[in-house]
Chain A
Amino acid sequence: NAGVTQTPKFQVLKTGQSMTLQCAQDMNHNSMYWYRQDPGMGLRLIYYSASEGTTDKGEVPNGYNVSRLNKREFSLRLESAAPSQTSVYFCASSDSPRSDTQYFGPGTRLTVL
């Protein structure tokens, strides 16, 4: 039981490049989330998926897209990376959208030059 896994762990991009961050969970959770964490800040919600087939914007969705591929997997895509997207990205999952208890992955550290 690996919990929430994320790939890659580190990534460096040039401005304008695109990439997809992958997230998978093996806890049979319905809801999944993408957050970004910046120095001195808390976690800010980018997008979330309350259940398979649905996605909704969070607090800071601009510049990102998401895909809920199936119940296990939720990916985050940067179409044209910008330096302002340099951050640590965390994926999380929970039993249901009514569950406040979220479990986090280890994070992806992204640098955009």
Chain B
Amino acid sequence: GQQLNQSPQSMFIQEGEDVSMNCTSSSIFNTWLWYKQDPGEGPVLLIALYKAGELTSNGRLTAQFGITRKDSFLNISASIPSDVGIYFCAGSYAGSNYKLTFGKGTLLTVNP
């Protein structure tokens, strides 16, 4: 199956800083999704992207569907302590029958 390369694996930042993370694939994806997982909880959908070049915001979060359809980016502005968690990208590609492939996650730690 397809694999997603998500980077960085972990980040340790100060409160107020901006954060960027990304996912790349060797194949074209039709949909990109970004999830956040708090400790002991299930992933929660943050942003869904369906068109190449699409830029979508959800509060302080902004995600983009790469123009090549092989990557996606998530930015968090002015980070706060509750942003702590694991962020996962996920996507579906042609031939996957809409099943999602997940990246391995980015662990974000925010120092107050």
Interface residues of A (CB under 8 A from B): 4, 40-45, 48, 58-59, 90, 92, 97-107
Contact = CB atoms under 8 A, between A and B. Distances in A.
| Best-surrounded residue of B33, B42, B48 (most CB of chain A within 10 A) | B42
Interface residues of B, number: 27
A58 B43 CA distance: 19
B33 A101 contact: yes
Specify the main secondary structure of chain A where it touches its partner: loop
Contacts of A44: 102
B12 interface: no
A42 B35 CA distance: 11
Nearest to A100: B31
B98 A43 contact: no
A100 B100 contact: yes
Contacts of A107: 40-42
